[in-house]
Structure formats: structure tokens, C-alpha cells
């Protein structure tokens, strides 16, 4: 029955995404800031469907750690779920994503309206420069920047080397960097259809002030906090 419920949710997820992408295109004449209610509504509706159909809910801890000024958030990336959650957990932000997403008909056209930072992951140093240059521009416009430093979804219990783009952006812009951990991978696997019932915990860490820190130190501090918090969440999840 859980597989059937998960399948129904997946079908509805794609239908809802197509509907909201069309809505963005129809309202494309509005400025991006005024359009941002659409991705927020998309995320909230999908989470409501996920809760009602699959019994999967979430809660956010540490919201008091979100700075009032534009900031960079670096997320653990273990599931499609966290790419939805970024729309509602943090204020309006530019999303770092692979450029191929912009090539998807309808969806890509809608995503492009929100000024993402779309990179070629094979470009190496050029991609890092792009993140820093465009990230500084987005921060100056009053937007945040969302980065997944591992670069790809990672299974529970695993961790990859962090890229340096987020730390370099923080160092050069002076914007605080906020680490965000969660245990979504235990409930919604990165390549799986099944959505397990339960409650995903999202924990927002204390912001890191980049002033006087080398990018490597910023990255190391971020990774240590996220890895430790993810391990703590995993132990709690496993015990349940």
C-alpha cells in the first residue's frame, strides 16, 4: 500500500510541477520577487500531498539562526525532498543547479525566471568563478544563495568532499554562511520511488561569519557541523 501511495504522490508531483511551471510562464511579466509565491506554494502543496498520501511530514529546528541580511545556505543533499524544502525553509534565494535543468521544456523556462545560478559541473574552475560572480550579484540584489556543496545527492551514511564555491562566495562577499542538515534520505531515497512515513527533521545551524577566515577553514567548519548533525539525526532516526 505504501508503494501505491508513493506512486500516486509521484504522479501528482509531476502534474503539480507542470501546473505551477505554466503559471510562472503566464505571469512572467511580473518581477521575480513578486513571482516567488509560486515556488513557495508549489513546495507547500507537494508537502501537503506527501503528508496526506504517504504519512511523511517535516519540522524545522533552529529558525532563529537565520540572519536578517541576505546569506548563503549550504545544505546536505540526499534527496529530491531537500530541493523542495529550500523554497520554504529559507527566504527567497538563487538556487545553484546544473544547467541541464534549464533545457527541460516548461520547467526550465519557469526556473530561469527566478535567476538561478546554472552551472556546467564539468567546467571546474570556470564554474566556481561563475558561482562567486553571480552569487555576489544575487546577494547585492537582496537574495540569498542556496548551495549543495557535495554537488550531487548522497545516500544516508555517506559524505562527499565539499566544493569550495560556497566558501569562496562567503569570503569574497562577507555574507554569513548557514549550514543546514536533515535526515530526508532515510525517508525518500535518492533513486527510490518509496516514501516512508515519518517526520523529517531539518536543523539550521548557527551562521558562520567569514570575516578573517580562509575559504578552506569556512568549508571545513561547515562540513564538520553538517556531518556531525546528520550523524546525530541518523542515530535518532534509526532508533525510531
Q: Can you give the CATH number for the domain in which 123 is found?
A: 3.40.1130
For residue 12, pLDDT beyond 50: yes
More confident site: 126 or 40: 40
For the entire predicted model, the pTM comes to 0.92
For residues 95-110, one letter each, b for 16 or more C-beta atoms within 10 angstroms of the residue's C-beta and e for the rest, the string is bbbebeeeeeeebbbb
State pLDDT tens for residues 208-229.
Answer: 999 999 999 999 999 999 999 9
**Would you state the pLDDT for residue 239?**
36
**Domains of the chain: total:** 1
The answer to whether residues 27 and 35 touch, using CB atoms and an 8 Å cutoff, is yes
Q: Nearest-CA neighbor of 56 among 157, 210, 222, 199? A: 199
Domain enclosing residue 209, as ranges:
2-239
For residue 124, pLDDT beyond 90: no
Amino acid at each position: 500500500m505504501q508503494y501505491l501511495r508513493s506512486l500516486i504522490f509521484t504522479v501528482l508531483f509531476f502534474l503539480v510541477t507542470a501546473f505551477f511551471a505554466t503559471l510562472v510562464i503566464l505571469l512572467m511579466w511580473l518581477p521575480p520577487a513578486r513571482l516567488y509565491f509560486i515556488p513557495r506554494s508549489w513546495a507547500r502543496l507537494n508537502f501537503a500531498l506527501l503528508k496526506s498520501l504517504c504519512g511523511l511530514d517535516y519540522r524545522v529546528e533552529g529558525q532563529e539562526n537565520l540572519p536578517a541580511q541576505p546569506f548563503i545556505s549550504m545544505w546536505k543533499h540526499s534527496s529530491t525532498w531537500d530541493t523542495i524544502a529550500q523554497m520554504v525553509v529559507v527566504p527567497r534565494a538563487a538556487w545553484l543547479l546544473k544547467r541541464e535543468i534549464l533545457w527541460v521544456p516548461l520547467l526550465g523556462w519557469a526556473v530561469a525566471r527566478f535567476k538561478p545560478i546554472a552551472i556546467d559541473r564539468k567546467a571546474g574552475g570556470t564554474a566556481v568563478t561563475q558561482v562567486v560572480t553571480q552569487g555576489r550579484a544575487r546577494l547585492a540584489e537582496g537574495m540569498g544563495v542556496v548551495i549543495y556543496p557535495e554537488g550531487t545527492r548522497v545516500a544516508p551514511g555517506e559524505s562527499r568532499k565539499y566544493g569550495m564555491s560556497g566558501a569562496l562566495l562567503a569570503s569574497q562577499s562577507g555574507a554569513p554562511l548557514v549550514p543546514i542538515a536533515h535526515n530526508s534520505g532515510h525517508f525518500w531515497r535518492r533513486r527510490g520511488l518509496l516514501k516512508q512515513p515519518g517526520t523529517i527533521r531539518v536543523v539550521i545551524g548557527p551562521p558562520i561569519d567569514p570575516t578573517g577566515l580562509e575559504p578552506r577553514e569556512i568549508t571545513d567548519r561547515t562540513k564538520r557541523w553538517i556531518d556531525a548533525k546528520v550523524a546525530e539525526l541518523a542515530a535518532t532516526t534509526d532508533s525510531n
